[in-house]
Structure 1
Amino acid sequence: MTRTVTLVLVDPTGRPLGALPEYEVESPWWQEVDPVVRGAPVEVSVLRLLDGHGDRPGVGGTVRYLAEVAEPPAVPLRPAAVDLAPHPLRAPYAEPGGPAASITWARAVLDRLGRPAGEVTQRRTWNLSAIWRLDSPHATAWLKQVPGFFRHEAAVLRRLGSLTPGRVPVLLADDGDGRMLLDHVPGEDRYGADPAERAAIAADQHDLQVRALPLVDDLVADGVPDLRGPALARWIRATIPPSALPSTNPLDGLAERLAQVAECGVPDTLVHGDLHPGNVRGDGVRRVVIDWGDAFVGHPAFDILRLTEGLPASTAAPLLGAWCARWRDSVPGCDPERAVALLRPVAALRMAAVYAMFLAGIEPSERIYHADDVPRCLAEATSAVG
């Protein structure tokens, strides 16, 4: 599958210049802009999505982006109608001059570290992150910039870097405002992980979560969201718009359900929040868990439920059984099986709230990525409660 791309160009001051002719790129995923940049007839930085149309939001079809050029290009441009009005929720990296400012910051950091960057490649940009690869003759680093609701990722990586070295990306620097410079992690994202690899990921995460138990208060003080018990119920209710709730309200009884979860005795700890195999990189020697922006302090069962999501029951059952056995060994007397059963609908509710948070925190043109996710997750929660 491909996508058809149109780039509407602006100069560094934001002055509109016109649009390049449309062209095809080999990757269908709208947030992946590396092939968009490579396919353009002039040097560009992609700023943000303008609009897109396809069978599925974010995949294939026709897409328009706003892109920045250093000066008017020596290629024909056609007129393009586009709203360039400012928006209070626009990410800094989606504004003219934003990518250049972030790259300048990253280059300065690498210069101080004695590993100056040569080639810089823009890899991704959308409402959840912007990512660039910075290569030098001796090393590779990654610049990642995130919106405010993911700003605590740097604090998580800093804590875990000393607690579980080698298990998370090395944080080289951060600016306290969403920019992070990360060391390269060898390997590939493990989207196709088989049950044995998922079992290894689950075991790694259990070890990390047990080690993180003494750090819970420090993580919360660092700005990691505190979603323990009643706080999770309050956050879900405050974040999901009442207008989005179905007639059979899956929030009914939520506080009571979470009180029963607490009685199961599995302790709250650091939760990744999106522990699917694609957020693990492996090279056959080690596994590194990446993308900690969804992290929070809460119940560890949310991670195993995410890791087994969508698997056949016969495949998920051994993974869940091993997870329960590990927690019974770590915390004698706890009841992890009951905790998992109680939290199944809550896991879907939490994801509905996560997507609602995204929608409330991003500008309108970017909401197409997540528009269908809140009702989908609420339907899953309603089904799980039933």
Structure 2
Amino acid sequence: MSRRVTLVLVDRSGAVLGALPPYEVPMPWWQEVADVVDGARQHYGVDVTVLRLLRASRDAPNGGEVVYLAELSGAGTPSMVGVDARDQPGADERRAPWAEPGGPAATLGWAAERLAERGRLVVRPVQQRAWNLSAIWRLDTVSAGGPAPADMPERVDIAREPVWVKQVPQFFAHEAAVLRWLGDTLPGTAPELLAAGPHGRLLLAHVPGDGRYAADTAERDALAGDLHRVQLRSVPDLDQLIAVGLPDLRAPWLADRIRAVIAAHAPDDPALTALADGLDARLAAVAECGLPDTLVHGDLHPGNAIGARDARMIIDWGDSFAGHPAFDILRLADGDASLIGSWAARWRSSVPGCDPEHAIALLRPVAALRHAAVYAGFLDRIERSEHRFHAADVPYWLDAARALL
């Protein structure tokens, strides 16, 4: 599966210049744009920055015909075609700052200033991702001093070191505070936060290795062990983390959020309505199982770990919240009973007398409803043209919760 991409080009002021004829890119994932940028350069000899999705032929990701808005960021006057009337960029008050013309340049300028303060020069920014949940660039940098490459105006050495710029929406702004806490208390468990700035900007040190998407059961169990150490350490600092922005999804607030989602998306569903009515009692029974509330990653799967089989860091803390630690193992285990068993054994060792298995049994449908609430929250806060990234997720997770009752 691939994408057939059309780019509607604008200049820095936002004026529409025209559209590039469609071209194929190999990666199907709509939010991944490195090959979109490369394709514009290879096919039409222009440098662009992808701003946002305008339209797609499919109702949900990925693949198919995809139309993006892109800013022409370099010299060149490519041969363009007319812009489809459906693809005229409009205004949306919920638009992310990196999705506007000039927004990426402002973020890259901020990153270059922070790196200059550290004695490093950016020699090449490479756009990696652009969608409603984040914008990501890899910056190839060199240290000041030493012999200069021919194309560099200043003296630099040639030992290149990647650094990462990530920009997130306001509802993920607490990621900086969580990374800062992790760096102070458990260095090496997450990427080093080099700087944080306005509009959700993060400057992150490079983490060597690969995403651990293909991790087997043993490696996923080790990842669960990594997070267990983080969660135990977070218990005494949880109020401090909430004070600096970590969302609070402990029992009362979680129950309110779930009831609101059921009322908005499934008000006539008797099974889910009954669950909503009994949610306070269910969560009280969870509390009686004796596990503490902790820092929860919120989207713990192997792809959110980078490194090697025997050593990794956990990335993407934007979904994190204060709440029950079982939510993470339910996401990571994905039905693997052996991982649930190992997780339960760790908690029984750390908190003698607790009942992790009963907590898991009570929280299975609640975890599915929490996912529905997460995606409903995205839809409430992102611009309309990008709703198709998440619209199918709310009914999916409501159906999953119903199946678990």
TM-score of the two chains, using structure 1 as the length reference = 0.95
Deviations 1:205-230 (A, max 9, x none): 11111011111000000110011111
Deviation at 1:85, TM superposition (A): 2.2
Q: Which amino acid aligns with 2:94?
A: L
Contact in 2 for aligned 1:167/1:287 (Cα 8 Å): yes
Structure 1 counterpart of 2:146: none
Structure 2 counterpart of 1:382: 402
Structure 2 counterpart of 1:64: 67
Superposed, 1:206-225 pairs within 5 Å as 206-225=228-247
The whole-number CA distance in structure 1 between the counterparts of 2:268 and 2:261 is 15
The alignment partner of 1:27 has SS state of coil
Structure 1 counterpart of 2:380: 360
Residue 85 in structure 1 maps to residue 123 in structure 2? no
Structure 2 counterpart of 1:274: 299
Structure 1 counterpart of 2:114: 109
Q: Which amino acid aligns with 2:388?
A: I
The alignment partner of 1:185 has SS state of coil
Structure 2 counterpart of 1:227: 249
The alignment partner of 1:242 has SS state of helix
The whole-number CA distance in structure 1 between the counterparts of 2:201 and 2:262 is 28
2:197 is aligned, of 150, 175, 199, to 175
Deviations 1:46-85 (A, max 9, x none): 000000113x622110000000014674221111023322
Deviations 1:21-70 (A, max 9, x none): 1100011111000000001021000000000113x622110000000014
Deviation at 1:301, TM superposition (A): 0.3
Structure 1 counterpart of 2:47: 43
Give the paired residue count.
379
Q: Which amino acid aligns with 2:133?
A: L
Superposed, 1:310-325 pairs within 5 Å as 311=335, 316-325=336-345
The whole-number CA distance in structure 1 between the counterparts of 2:379 and 2:96 is 13
Superposed, 1:1-386 pairs within 5 Å as 1-40=1-40, 41=44, 42-54=46-58, 57-70=60-73, 73-80=76-83, 81=85, 82-136=87-141, 137-239=159-261, 242-245=264-267, 247-250=269-272, 251-309=276-334, 311=335, 316-385=336-405
Unaligned residue ranges in structure 1 (runs of 5+):
none
Q: Which amino acid aligns with 2:128?
A: R
Contact in 1 for aligned 2:97/2:103 (Cα 8 Å): yes
The whole-number CA distance in structure 2 between the counterparts of 1:262 and 1:70 is 54
Deviation at 1:284, TM superposition (A): 3.9
The whole-number CA distance in structure 1 between the counterparts of 2:114 and 2:295 is 29
**Over the residues paired in the alignment, what is the CA RMSD in angstroms?**
1.4
The alignment partner of 1:125 has SS state of strand
C-alpha spacing 1:17/1:28, structure 2 compared with 1 (3 Å): same
TM-score of the two chains, using structure 2 as the length reference = 0.91
Deviations 1:124-170 (A, max 9, x none): 00010000000123421100001111110000000011111111010
Deviation at 1:247, TM superposition (A): 1.6
The alignment partner of 1:84 has SS state of coil
The alignment partner of 2:313 has SS state of strand
Contact in 1 for aligned 2:212/2:307 (Cα 8 Å): yes
C-alpha spacing 1:296/1:344, structure 2 compared with 1 (3 Å): same
In percent, how many aligned pairs have the same letter?
A: 58
Unaligned residue ranges in structure 2 (runs of 5+):
142-158
